[in-house]
């Protein structure tokens, strides 16, 4: 074996098979083969009476190697290895510490006994990757726990704590201390007869048809994996070999499902965004955060930092609003305590780490300031001038602007190197996306510091360049525009919303507009009115609706009508406005199918995303996917617009744009990068590979 990924150790008559594949002991074909060989060696060694499975490092193992899925069928497969474990005439014990997920838990379930160490978390998270446990998990876990308890663990991928694992019989012993020692003790006890070890395969599963049927209804949500997982759970009533065969067939079926590809892409997208050119730069020490602005964003950002253990000084310059901001943050923290995001001790700590003030001078000691005031360039540049004077050297000066030119804001200071955009998404203490907007002069250490900060807040940071709307809002603008064009051309509000909801968004664009408040988008449109290109087709519907004082949910009327917050269908007044606009523009309306609606909206997103790449505003296609997935509700199983463009084929995307351009050649323009990639036979995934390599330190 050239690289040691499994080590055999001998402790008297016990053979230890130790997984040594950092960082997560992922089980790919090489590791499977090595475990198989190690097992063969120990079974052939007459001096060995019992075997211990153990994972070196911070945890046992994260399961099957997700990067190696294409080789899942290569021999020995994981089920082959597990069969050998299960059939071993010598007792096999698994010592589990930290994490045992997916195929790793399945490996342990195939052993004859499991010992857990305090703090252990076990899970079968395969459904989150569009799969089901494909190496006996659905058969053996169900044999141990029964069908009702197995369903949420398998079909939702719910994590199980150490104590619950003990209660459910997943582990037979729970100990403190070192896993290897605890495992060795257990093997000795099995060998001397004081501890019973046996395979789970002979256990009988009680039928629970009502539970299965109810779950089948619950999981009818467009995702394939949970439903197939239920089929596998149901098969646990069969003799073990039949159940295992059925499970494997369903697993291989899901392996070829586009939903699986989308979900795996999303898994890696979440991790890829932090690979940036600046990652090697020395980071600044940031402990104390200053926030300017006590509105919704400021309050959410303050809460996010407090939840992550930072000290926060929030400045609300209108003295009479300071108490309201403090109250709102305290309410958020109380909510976090209630939802067990904080324990009592950390809740008290967070409260004492918060100061709310009215005077900017209080920011002289902070390490990083985030400006979260209203979107007005003059107000922002004025504020940054003051911050430049007040803050100590090396303080990072960040703006939470959603659109404005950060170069212009930076130029208002004498330290543009320290200025950066940190674009949070509302509610800032819940949404995981953070656009880190790097201005022309931002220092690499400031970028690296902000990425580190994001990680400590469990956010997903995405590097963006300066432009109107950065990555996310820029794509959103085009998505909204095309929805409005569809509306003018004959599709209806609710049809468009339903089509996009069926595509997988939680809400359609008009329902989202009503929720966000139509006045917000109106203000942005008004700001840009002077620079709007005259050739652009402009839909006035939203403006005319706002003119009526209808701003969406908060006024009970917008695109839809609402009573006590509940939607009551399309607002007839809004519909009248649409009808009048269609007549005024002499539009020959036509019918659109739901799939054409989704296709046009998606193509508009892809088109803008290409331009964003072309201009270097996003580093890689995967960053754009991450923005859409983690900030804009793009359905995770579809992997993001760039991933979908690869799936559809770039030539198809191009031909769709060319077709739509026959109606509106200003809006629909083929991005240069798309033609170039097609000529080079490149995919977005190829671009990801190339650029990610360039970002490794």
Which residues are catalytic, by number? 106, 126
Residues 45 to 74 in contact with ligand 3HC, rule: CB under 6 A: 62-67
Listed ranges 13-21, 133-141, 239-247, 362-370: which one lies at the site for ligand 3HC (CB under 6 A)? 133-141
Does 127 bind ligand 3HC (CB under 6 A)? Our answer is: no
81 part of the interface to ligand 3HC, by CB under 6 A? no
The span of 95-103, 108-116, 198-206, 667-675 binding ligand 3HC (CB under 6 A) equals 95-103
509 binds ligand 3HC (CB under 6 A): no
Q: What is the DSSP letter of 282?
A: P
Task: Note the helical H segments in 354-456.
Answer: 377-390, 406-411, 444-456
- Read out DSSP for 432-467? -EEEEEE-TT--HHHHHHHHHHHHHTT-EEEEEESS
Paired residues of 175 in beta bridges: 117
Taking contact as CB under 6 A, which single stretch among the options 31-39, 96-104, 176-184, 557-565 is the one that binds ligand 3HC?
A: 96-104
Strands of 30-72 (E only): list them: 50-55
CB closer to ligand 3HC, 130 vs 469: 130
Please identify, using beta-carbon distances, which residue of 411 and 695 lies nearer to ligand 3HC: 695
| Position with the least CB separation from ligand 3HC | 102
Residue 53: strand pairing partners: 17, 94
CA proximity to 509, closest of 533, 550, 542, 534: 542
CA-CA distances (angstroms) from residue 59 to 67, 85, 157, 194? 19, 20, 19, 28
Q: How far apart are CA 393 and CA 245, in angstroms?
A: 65
**Span near ligand 3HC by CB under 6 A; candidates 12-20, 82-90, 130-138, 680-688:** 130-138
Closest approach of ligand 3HC to the CB of residue 544, in Å: 48
Q: How far is the CB of 300 from ligand 3HC (least distance, A)?
A: 24
Phi, psi of 653 (to 5 degrees): -60, -45
Q: Which is nearer to ligand 3HC, 143 or 347 (CB)?
A: 143
Which is closer to ligand 3HC, CB of 63 or CB of 504? 63
The single residue listed with the structure tokens 């509000």 is 493
Return phi, psi of residue 580, to 5°.
-65, -40
For residues 212-271, which are near ligand 3HC according to CB under 6 A? 271
Question: 3-state DSSP call for residue 241?
Answer: helix
User: Which of 15, 102, 621, 635 touches ligand 3HC (CB under 6 A)?
Assistant: 102
Q: Please, what is the minimum distance in Å from the beta carbon of residue 102 to ligand 3HC?
A: 3
Q: Which of 67, 57, 65, 20 has the alpha carbon at shortest distance from 692?
A: 67
476 sits near ligand 3HC (criterion: CB under 6 A):
no
- The length of the chain is 697
Using rule CB under 6 A, residue 300 touches ligand 3HC:
no
Residue 77: which residues within 8 A CB-CB, separation 6 or more?
32, 135
How many chain residues touch ligand 3HC (CB under 6 A)? 24
- Helix, strand, coil share of the chain (percent; to 5): 55, 15, 35
Under rule CB under 6 A, residue 24 binds ligand 3HC: yes
Of 140 and 284, nearer to ligand 3HC (C-beta) is 140
Rule CB under 6 A: choose which of 14, 16, 19, 26 binds ligand 3HC.
26
Nearer to ligand 3HC by C-beta: 130 or 465? 130
23 binds ligand 3HC (CB under 6 A): yes
Cα–Cα distance for residue pair 603/141, rounded to 1 Å: 43
Q: Least separation, in Å, of the C-beta of 62 and ligand 3HC?
A: 4
Could you tell me which residues come within 8 angstroms of residue 210 by beta carbon, excluding any fewer than 6 positions away?
none
Rounded least distance, CB 284 to ligand 3HC, Å: 23
Q: Tokens at residue 240, please?
A: 């073990």
Tokens of 85: 């474990």
Residues within the interface to ligand 3HC (CB under 6 A)? 23-24, 26, 62-67, 78, 99, 101-103, 106, 125-126, 129, 131, 133-135, 137, 271
């Amino acid at each position: 074996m050239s690289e040691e990924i499994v080590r055999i150790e001998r402790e008297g008559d016990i053979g230890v098979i130790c997984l040594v594949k950092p960082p997560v002991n992922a089980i790919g074909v090489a590791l499977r083969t090595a475990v198989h060989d190690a097992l063969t060696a120990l079974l052939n060694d007459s001096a060995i009476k019992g075997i211990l499975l153990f994972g070196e490092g911070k945890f046992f193992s994260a399961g099957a190697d997700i990067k190696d899925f294409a080789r899942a069928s290569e021999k020995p497969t994981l089920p082959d290895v597990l069969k050998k474990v299960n059939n071993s005439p010598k007792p096999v014990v698994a010592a589990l510490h930290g994490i045992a997920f997916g195929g790793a838990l399945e490996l342990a379930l195939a052993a004859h006994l499991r010992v857990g160490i305090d703090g252990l978390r076990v899970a079968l998270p395969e459904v989150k990757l569009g799969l089901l446990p494909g190496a006996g998990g659905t058969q053996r876990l169900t044999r141990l726990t029964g069908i009702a308890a197995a369903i949420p663990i398998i079909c939702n991928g719910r994590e199980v704590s150490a104590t619950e694992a003990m209660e459910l019989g997943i582990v037979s012993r729970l100990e403190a201390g070192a896993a290897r020692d605890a495992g060795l003790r257990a093997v000795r006890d099995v060998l001397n007869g004081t501890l019973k070890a046996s395979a789970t395969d002979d256990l009988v599963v009680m039928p629970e048809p009502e539970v299965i049927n109810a779950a089948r209804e619950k999981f009818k949500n467009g995702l394939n994996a949970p439903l197939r997982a239920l089929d596998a759970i149901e098969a646990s009533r069969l003799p073990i070999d039949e159940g295992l065969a059925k499970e494997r067939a369903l697993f291989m079926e899901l392996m070829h499902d586009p939903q699986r590809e989308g979900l795996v892409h999303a898994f890696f997208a979440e991790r890829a965004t932090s690979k940036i050119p600046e990652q090697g730069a020395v980071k600044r020490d940031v402990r104390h955060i200053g926030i300017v602005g006590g509105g919704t964003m400021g309050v959410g950002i303050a809460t996010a930092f407090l939840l992550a253990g930072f000290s926060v000084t929030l400045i609300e310059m209108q003295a009479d609003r300071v108490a309201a901001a403090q109250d709102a943050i305290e309410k958020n923290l109380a909510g976090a305590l209630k939802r067990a995001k904080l324990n009592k001790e950390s809740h008290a700590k967070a409260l004492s780490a918060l100061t709310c003030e009215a005077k900017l001078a209080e920011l002289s000691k902070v390490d990083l300031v985030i400006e979260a005031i209203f979107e007005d360039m003059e107000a922002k540049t004025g504020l940054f001038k003051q911050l430049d004077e007040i803050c100590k050297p090396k303080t990072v000066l960040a703006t939470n602007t959603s659109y404005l030119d950060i170069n212009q804001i930076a130029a208002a200071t004498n330290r543009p190197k320290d200025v950066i955009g940190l674009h949070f998404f509302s509610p800032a203490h819940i949404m995981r996306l953070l656009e880190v907007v790097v201005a022309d002069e931002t220092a690499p250490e400031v970028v690296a510091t902000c990425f580190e900060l994001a990680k400590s807040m469990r956010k997903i940071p995405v590097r963006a360049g300066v432009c109107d709307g950065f990555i996310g809002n820029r794509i959103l603008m085009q998505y909204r525009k095309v929805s409005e064009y569809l509306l003018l051309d004959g599709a209806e509000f609710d049809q468009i919303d339903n089509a996009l909801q069926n595509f997988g968004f939680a809400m359609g664009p008009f329902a989202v507009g009503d929720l966000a408040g139509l006045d917000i988008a109106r203000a942005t449109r008004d700001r840009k009115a002077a620079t709007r290109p005259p050739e652009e087709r402009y839909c006035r519907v939203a403006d005319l609706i706002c003119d009526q004082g209808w701003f969406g949910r908060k006024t009970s009327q917008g695109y839809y009508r609402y009573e006590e917050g509940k939607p009551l269908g399309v607002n007839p007044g809004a519909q009248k406005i649409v009808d009048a606009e269609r007549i005024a523009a002499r539009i020959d309306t036509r019918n659109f199918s739901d799939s054409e609606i989704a296709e046009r909206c998606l193509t508009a997103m892809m088109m803008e995303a290409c331009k964003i790449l072309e201009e270097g505003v996003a580093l890689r296609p995967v960053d754009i996917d991450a923005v859409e997935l983690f900030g804009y509700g793009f359905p995770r199983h579809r992997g993001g617009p760039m991933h979908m463009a690869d799936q559809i084929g770039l030539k198809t995307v191009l031909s769709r744009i060319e077709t739509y351009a026959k109606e509106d050649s200003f809006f629909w323009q083929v991005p240069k990068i798309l033609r170039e990639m097609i000529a080079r036979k490149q995919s977005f995934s190829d671009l990801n590979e190339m650029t990610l390599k360039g970002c490794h330190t």
